[in-house]
Chains A and B, each alone.
Chain A
């Protein structure tokens, strides 16, 4: 008996030693484990800044969606099981989910980010412990492919990876915050258990220089031109030559930034700044600028244009239309290569090269978008005996459409090369626009008088020269056509099937407000800039004039003049028939004013300052007096709080759906109809909190239905 007692004593001694070991010796280790498991750090995402056009129409906004997270410490079951169950409802493969769960070492991880809110209910039905459904936002581009190359897009983590979204990511993104909350073993965390919190700094809204209406016009006309002139690709830029503001920048092929995976990478290139081409005749302005500035060549200097065929230095140069004797002005008007080459012989290599570089060719414009090309300009010491002549007529040089645009802008604004702007400003805390400086002068390229003389030369091109197709009666337009063969991809000479047709022009010539540059990658048949790019220029200019009429008179024309100019030969403006434009995301007042001005009636539904949808659809042809119905919405800066909805009286299933939408985690007691809820309806709560939903037991279902009915 004593032996038995001793054995029990021995057992007691072992236990006591073990307790001493755990509670004294290993104490700090367990204390650390305890402290670590009682708290959880949750990220608080910053709302990404919105992107507006120059008139505060929305171009990019944030749409509600959900993200699915997992608290690994609460998993009941293996990663394999979780992956299998989740893969049944989520748009992610089982293998990827499993890899994600097993590879991330931290307590909490995101399984999928930014998916449709509909998935929330499906996820909830799996009832997997540890799964968190968090409310989130994702980028939405209401105008799809309009302006997509400028805007760019974000990835699943809401980080910009193209366009303005990339270049101004740090401005737009803000800074995420976090909160440390105490939690219990089931991961419940109540708002009052917040230990420490760092509020996120919301992203800053960015206002672009882009004018949404002009952007739409450019996109549509580029699409039309590409179809009409069989262009594989092309770009259009509309700029304000006085400030350097880019008003529109469109490329074809285009893409919808809401569905990135549906488009090839090549469609996402902002060709107007990333791609180079040989400009051809549009480049002759550089030659003429140098001649007028340095050599005092007069417009009436006569030149023998050799009837269209001239052998220079053993190389034959041809003119499209043969001329005998031309003045310098007519060399430009008829775009004579022979005349230009002969004139260029008056310039030294360095004079030629300096002028090219002064116009900004060979340097990036620093527009503030990623992927900009500096173009290709060879140093004079690398020139061959042909190079000066080639350069004079826009060969042996590669430029981007943006460089060409800014060079023409320098002529239009009196000789100053400006830095192009894509951002007009940001919206500050008080909702006011803080404008960034514009009209930043890079350098003076030519004197004001030279600029004026060049402008008048270019006016003649449109009035009666190769650019006649761009002429709009009543409006003074200065512009230049261009045609170039594309260099072969193997570098051996030029392709005979691929051409670049271009046109750059601005108006009104006396006081230029708009500059439009067009570049089309087309075929032999449509190679002439005067035959494809110039008519496109005309159509765009006409539509700008119509759009302008409704806003301030940028063009400085009288209303009657602008009406006249816009009307002629323009397909859209038929007296009583109106093509309904896309009004979505525009400010209600401006859209309403525009529609009323067209003679349409306007009705609206909902609250807010922006237009969500319209009826009828954009593009519908209406007659005067028809009604347009607008659905409004407002942009609310989410502060992470939501209002607790009322679920009392709903069936349990309805209640769960309702809570899932608001991302409130329910704790359910009983079944049947909801009898009471906590917190009360209308209480401001943080998204993702748990609420207690008490239901009647099934036996009392009938009475509760009655009670609910009486309510």
Chain B
């Protein structure tokens, strides 16, 4: 029995490890020039990311060992804590702003993004709330509205960062979860339309975001206003061709492509490894998609199913959105590629998500070996949402 607890979805884990290995290789190749220039150490960023991966591995292991049911109880705490942080960040003094925005909290040299915390807090909470016995998702006012209030609150807290990209992603993930939980498609479309309107309005308020959007729209009209970063990204991908120009050979990383090892690291993958590299990355995320949904489907419990699919959607949607931006299918939103882009918060939280998936996988195998339990709808008070 104890042996079975260690039953691990190796395909999922291998896909994640493969992405992490790729990440380290490309963070090094894309950051070494800048690292050498700024810090005199070509492996400066590499070392930092390795440290985070170790930390992430620990988080993954711990979450894997922790029963997701217990974790679900922490959902509201996580969510409200993140929201508090986000609002405090807005109210804080000017010195709290990093690079002109209030998206990050810097504590002792470590930079943390509370919106990542809010995102997973929301996923945890929705997994619970949407599967409650008295949650009638077919009804707009009774079922959807209370949840929409929470979702709206989270999106609002993030969008004022300003961080329209993350906010949109959180919204999309929440919609996906509601859809999976059984909400009416018509309702969701209406809500999404309303959400898009809000995002559009937000973009009009923040001039920087507006310019990015306008540039994107104009770039399809005459092909001229294509932004520098996206143009350089396309050059990277195109110049990489089928087989790439060789590992470590990227020229675009020499100050041509901005953010070559964070949000746009996929462009460098495309330049150095070509189509083979880019399709491999897409394939690895598809593996995560399949394994994640497989785990969700295999689960007997509604909240576990929703939790697993929420986590999976979060990872895969981020990856695809990131590629969509890089390939000029979407306007630049500033979202990283899970596991691959340089950065702490995103990595740690995604490792956490994988840990959750692996835990549910273990629980599934555990359950299957026992007497099959009936799929239960939890009967808890709605006060759960407020952490009471």
Contacts and interface: CB of A to CB of B under 8 A. Distances in A.
A38 B282 contact: no
Contacts of B309: 1, 4
A4 B176 contact: yes
A185 B238 contact: no
A22 B324 CA distance: 12
A1 B239 contact: no
A192 to B, nearest CB: 15
A31 B239 contact: yes
Given A37-B235, A185-B256, A186-B255, A5 B293 contact: yes
Contact of A8 (B234, B305, B316): B316
Contact of B179 (A4, A9, A20): A4
B286 interface: yes
Interface in A180-221: 184-186, 188
Interface string B308-319: 010001001100
A31 B255 CA distance: 17
B329 A19 contact: no
A441 interface: no
A193 to B, nearest CB: 11
A1 B327 contact: no
Interface in A16-61: 16, 18-20, 22-24, 26-27, 29-31, 33-34, 37-38
Nearest to B38: A669
B81 interface: no
Contact of A34 (B239, B242, B293, B297): B239
B270 A19 contact: yes
Contacts of A8: 289, 313, 316-317, 320
A4 B241 contact: no
Nearest to B185: A3
Contact of A19 (B232, B257, B282, B286): B282
Contacts of B320: 8, 11-12, 15
A26 B296 CA distance: 40
B275 interface: yes
Interface in B303-353: 305, 309, 313, 316-317, 320, 323-324, 327, 329
A22 B238 contact: yes
Given A1-B309, A23-B278, A18 B239 contact: no
Nearest to A22: B237
A621 interface: no
Contacts of B255: 184-186, 188
Contacts of A4: 176, 179-180, 309, 313
B238, B255, B282 pick with most chain A CB within 10 angstroms: B238
A118 B55 CA distance: 56
A574 interface: no
A681 interface: no
B251 interface: yes
A3 B297 CA distance: 13
A259 to B, nearest CB: 43
B278 A184 contact: no
A126 interface: no
Contacts of B240: 23
Nearest to A5: B293
A20 B275 contact: yes
A23 B293 contact: no
Contacts of A34: 235, 238-239, 251-252
Given A3-B179, A8-B316, A22-B234, A185 B254 contact: yes
A16 B235 CA distance: 17
A260 interface: no
Given A8-B289, A22-B238, A30-B235, A15 B297 contact: no
Nearest to A28: B238
Contacts of B296: 1
Given A1-B309, A19-B282, A24-B242, A30 B234 contact: yes
A23 B270 contact: yes
A5 B275 CA distance: 24
Contacts of B254: 184-185
B235 A5 contact: no
B274 interface: yes
B153 interface: no
A14 interface: yes
B279 interface: yes
Nearest to A37: B256
Contacts of A26: 238
B278 A12 contact: no
Contacts of A11: 317, 320, 324
Contact of B323 (A15, A23, A30): A15
A188 B255 CA distance: 10
Interface in B99-153: none
A30 B239 contact: yes
B82 to A, nearest CB: 25
Contacts of A23: 237-238, 240-242, 270, 274-275, 278
A12 B319 CA distance: 10
A102 to B, nearest CB: 14
Contacts of B238: 22-23, 26-27, 29-31, 33-34
Contacts of B239: 27, 30-31, 33-34
Interface in A144-190: 184-186, 188
Contacts of A15: 282, 320, 323-324, 327, 329
A525 B107 CA distance: 98
A29 B237 CA distance: 11
B327 A19 contact: yes
Nearest to B233: A22
Contact of B275 (A19, A30, A31): A19
B313 A19 contact: no
Nearest to A36: B235
B289 A16 contact: no
B305 A1 contact: yes
A22 to B, nearest CB: 5
A2 B289 CA distance: 11
A21 B316 CA distance: 22
A143 B176 CA distance: 85
A16 B282 contact: yes
A29 B232 CA distance: 13
B183 to A, nearest CB: 12
Given A11-B320, A14-B329, A19-B282, A30 B256 contact: no
A1 B180 contact: yes
Contacts of A184: 251, 254-256
Contacts of B279: 16, 19
Interface string B213-241: 00000000000000000001011011111
Nearest to B271: A34
A375 B285 CA distance: 90
Nearest to B270: A23
A20, A34, A186 pick with most chain B CB within 10 angstroms: A34
Contacts of A9: 286, 289
Nearest to A25: B238
A184 B257 CA distance: 10
Given A18-B327, A23-B275, A185-B255, A1 B234 contact: no
Interface of B: 176, 179-180, 232, 234-235, 237-242, 251-252, 254-257, 270, 274-275, 278-279, 282, 285-286, 289, 293, 296-297, 305, 309, 313, 316-317, 320, 323-324, 327, 329
Interface of A: 1-5, 8-9, 11-12, 14-16, 18-20, 22-24, 26-27, 29-31, 33-34, 37-38, 184-186, 188
Given A12-B320, A186-B255, 19 more contacts: A1-B296, A4-B179, A4-B180, A4-B313, A8-B317, A9-B286, A9-B289, A11-B317, A19-B282, A22-B327, A23-B270, A23-B278, A24-B241, A30-B234, A30-B238, A34-B238, A34-B251, A184-B255, A185-B232
14 contacts: A1-B296, A4-B179, A8-B289, A9-B289, A12-B282, A12-B320, A15-B323, A19-B279, A23-B240, A23-B275, A24-B241, A27-B239, A27-B242, A37-B256
Closest 6 CB pairs of A and B: A30-B238, A185-B255, A184-B254, A185-B256, A34-B239, A23-B275
